[in-house]
Structure 1
Amino acid sequence: MISSLTPLDLEKYLIPNAKIDRAEETIPTCEIHNWSDGMLANADFFGHPKYSEQYLKTENCSRAFGERWQAAIGSWDDKVVIDIGCGPGNLYATIGGTPQVLIGIDISRGALEKAMQLGYTPILADAHNLPLIDDCADIVALNAVLHHCDDMVKVLTEAARVVIPGGLLITDEDPQRTAWHHKGLGWLVDEARKLFPLYWLPGRGHLYRSKQERALRLATEIHNRKPGDGVTPELYYRTLEPLGFTIELYPHNHGVGAELFQGNYGRSPLKYTLAQRLSGINPNSPEAAQSVMCIARKLVN
């Protein structure tokens, strides 16, 4: 396990005018003035002592997930890594390795407390307004984060700002709009599917969720609730290209590992194909893939 930064070491990554409350010594806390309903839901769910522990053990932790991320990163050993929306620390818990610095940003104190136990240096802050200086990280990661944020463009722009020239910005596990754009009978089938606890959210299946937990989790899914939600290629190209990034996009289903980069995006899970077919979506196409991984590299001037 890596060691968290000392307050003095962390200081060099913070913008000079960052308003940070250090009364809570273990987790530096940035001032957040406007909490949206979605932000509050994310803070509550991912900081919940039971739900966040369950999330850490059951989601974004599969072998395929780890292999996909390792192939995308190459290696983050001895590098400065910023994990935006780190939650309880799923990404590092799955990949491992020895980053030189691993800073975790989240708005949930409970989630950051768990991430800190894994070796993250935590900062409680809003992803829309990062307290970090420009060009400070070799790798910036946002896993299953963008669709939980009110303004996806703003969050991507902030993330891009802190990547060093030549560095990587990687996002993944955000719902691809074309896969979930159900229409007509397809929409009705998908809505009926969500009534059962086994399939309570697009892309997620659980047998044990309580009604309260399902409702709170759904409230966190700001851009994953209805047809037309989700990420598109245009989101990445229009946001990141003007900021000097080259972009590679990889639509994929969640069970795909490193083979994604050999052109295998996987098959749409059977439990979703009926709604897709009824909506005019070819379930065996890249457009039907659940998520998109974006690998963006900042050009060196």
Structure 2
Amino acid sequence: MLGDILLPNVALENSGKYFHSKLEWTSEAMIANATYFGNAQWAQEYLDYCHRDPHFKSRWLAAGGDWTGKVVIDLGCGPGNIFATLGGDPKLLVGVDVAPGSLELAAKQGYTAVLADAAKTPFRSNVADIVAINASLHHCDDMGAVLREAARLVKPDGLLITDHDPQLTAWDYRGVAKLMWNARLWIYRAARYGFHKTGSQQLWGLRTEVHHQPGDGVTKEFFCTTLEPLGFEVSVYPHNHQIGAEALSGQVGAAQWKYRLGNMLSGRRPSSPSSALSLMCVARRRGEPAAVGA
């Protein structure tokens, strides 16, 4: 099945647990992602604790429906969180990542796992019913390049769905809030934040967050200006993390107190859509594919 969607003259090396595409290790971000998400213990913790709640499942099912019978490509799949949460029986489920440890876990979830650059995949154009990107764009050097590559893979009438990347306006902290952001590593260590148990784990995790900084992140304009010229109808939904399908009807949901505080200290109304932590983009390709590459 994987061979049916590969570019001509592309041969992938089979490691036994995942397939290996040619990859140039020239980026600090790629090395950080491969180190953090490639660590077997850290990847397992990420699979166990992140993007596994009922709100996430409800939101993704509302956006893309059941994956059964579909060709799905998950860019930046990590250890397989989306499919582990959604389930279903896809016709072909391909996961792309740069972290071997995560790909091994994704393969156990049912993915055909491929080590490749999400901005330059070895797949033909217009092959996927759904291309999914969850919490991955902000880990990539060039978010636009990855989004355009995702668009290239989508079939006519297919969907490109992204979620859980930081909304620029919500994370653009100012004043005291920015000082607290800059001190977050030490705060995390003191509080033993989340599932990060060691300073090394925290440090590598933060190194992966290339576009998760004050003044950086995704915007509605980014999705629209990138995807609309490529033949997509684009809808963007600001939301906080503890809200499900209601996000697609315009509800933002409540953020945790620390995020509300950060927005208040930055002079913004915490309940505003522009203060919502994440953006979900649901983009449908119109019937005739635009010319977006080979």
- TM range, normalised to the smaller chain? over 0.9
Are positions 1:141 and 2:132 aligned together?
yes
After TM superposition, the structure 1 stretch with the greater mean CA deviation from structure 2, 184-193 or 215-224, is 184-193
Q: Structure 1: give runs of 5+ residues left out of the alignment.
A: 1-8
TM-score (norm 2): 0.94
User: Which of 7, 17, 20 does residue 9 from structure 2 map onto?
Assistant: 17
Aligned residue for 1:118? 109
The Cα shift of 1:35 comes to 2.9
Are positions 1:271 and 2:253 aligned together?
no
Are positions 1:213 and 2:205 aligned together?
no
2: CA distance, partners of 1:114 / 1:18: 25
After TM superposition, which residue ranges in structure 1, 4 or more long, deviate above 3 angstroms?
A: 189-194
Q: Map residues 200-279 of structure 1 onto 2, 5 A cutoff.
A: 205-206=193-194, 208-224=196-212, 226-279=213-266
TM-score (norm 1): 0.91
2: CA distance, partners of 1:199 / 1:132: 45
Q: Structure 2: give runs of 5+ residues left out of the alignment.
A: 289-294
Q: Is the 8 A contact 2:185 2:202 kept in 1?
A: no
Aligned residue for 1:79? 70
Flag the 1:253–1:31 CA change in 2: closer, same or farther, 3 A.
same
1: CA distance, partners of 2:77 / 2:157: 23
Tell me, what secondary structure is at the counterpart of 2:235?
Answer: strand
Flag the 1:198–1:259 CA change in 2: closer, same or farther, 3 A.
farther
Query: Aligned pair count?
Result: 288
Amino acid at match of 1:229: D
Q: Is the 8 A contact 1:198 1:207 kept in 2?
A: no
Q: Is the 8 A contact 1:29 1:125 kept in 2?
A: yes
Aligned residue for 1:41? 32
Tell me, what secondary structure is at the counterpart of 2:133?
Answer: strand
The Cα shift of 1:276 comes to 1.2
Are positions 1:289 and 2:276 aligned together?
yes
Aligned residue for 2:141? 150
Q: Map residues 158-197 of structure 1 onto 2, 5 A cutoff.
A: 158-197=149-188
Amino acid at match of 1:91: I
Alignment RMSD? 1.7
2: CA distance, partners of 1:198 / 1:81: 38
2: CA distance, partners of 1:57 / 1:207: 10
The Cα shift of 1:70 comes to 0.8
2: CA distance, partners of 1:45 / 1:285: 33
Are positions 1:67 and 2:54 aligned together?
no
Q: Is the 8 A contact 1:19 1:31 kept in 2?
A: no
The Cα shift of 1:77 comes to 1.0
**Residues 230-258 of structure 1: CA deviation (Å, up to 9, x unaligned):** 10112111110010000000000011111
Are positions 1:95 and 2:86 aligned together?
yes
